[in-house]
Structure 1
Amino acid sequence: MNHAEVLVDAFERIKGVVHDTLDDIPEPALTYRPDADANTIAWLIWHLTRVQDDHVAGAAGSEQVWTADGWNSRFGLPFDDDAIGYGQSAEDVSAVTTGADLLREYHAAVHAKTVAYVESLSAADLDRIVDDNWDPPVTLGVRLVSVVSDDLQHAGQAAYVRGLFERS
Structure 2
Amino acid sequence: MKSNELLLDAFGRIRETVAATLEGVSHESLVRRPAGTGNSIAWLIWHLGRVEDAQLASAAGLEQVWTSQGFAGRFDLPLPKRDTGYGHSSRQVDAVQAAPELLLEYYDAVHRPTVEYVEALGDGDFDRIVDTRWDPPVTLGVRLISTIADCLQHAGQAAYVKGLNPNENPRDR
Asked if TM exceeds 0.5, the reply is yes
Once the two structures are superposed, the pairs formed by residues 46-61 of structure 1 within 5 Å of their partners are 46-61=46-61
Separation in structure 2 between the aligned mates of residue 62 and residue 97 of structure 1, nearest angstrom = 26
Maintained 8 Å contact 1:47/1:84: yes
Separation in structure 2 between the aligned mates of residue 112 and residue 104 of structure 1, nearest angstrom = 12
Displacement after TM superposition at 1:102 (Å): 0.1
- Paired residues in the alignment total 168
For 2:129, the equivalent position in structure 1 comes to 129
Q: Residues 166 and 33 (structure 1 numbering): CA distance in 2 closer, same or farther, change over 3 Å?
A: farther
Over 2 Å off, 4+ runs: 165-168
For 2:101, the equivalent position in structure 1 comes to 101
Displacement after TM superposition at 1:75 (Å): 0.3
Q: Secondary structure at the match of 2:130?
A: strand
Matched, 1:83 2:83: yes
TM-score of the superposed pair, with normalisation by structure 1: 0.97
For 2:157, the equivalent position in structure 1 comes to 157
Separation in structure 1 between the aligned mates of residue 166 and residue 135 of structure 2, nearest angstrom = 44
Residue type at the aligned position of 2:157: Q
> What does the per-residue CA deviation read over 1:18-77, in whole Å, with 9 as the maximum and x for residues that have no partner?
000000111211001122211000000000000000000000111000000000000000
Residue type at the aligned position of 1:117: Y
For structure 1, the residue ranges without an aligned partner over 5 or more in a row are: none
Aligned residues: CA RMSD:
1.2
Percent pairwise identity:
54
For structure 2, the residue ranges without an aligned partner over 5 or more in a row are: 169-173
25-34 vs 106-115, which deviates more? 25-34
For 2:44, the equivalent position in structure 1 comes to 44
TM-score of the superposed pair, with normalisation by structure 2: 0.94
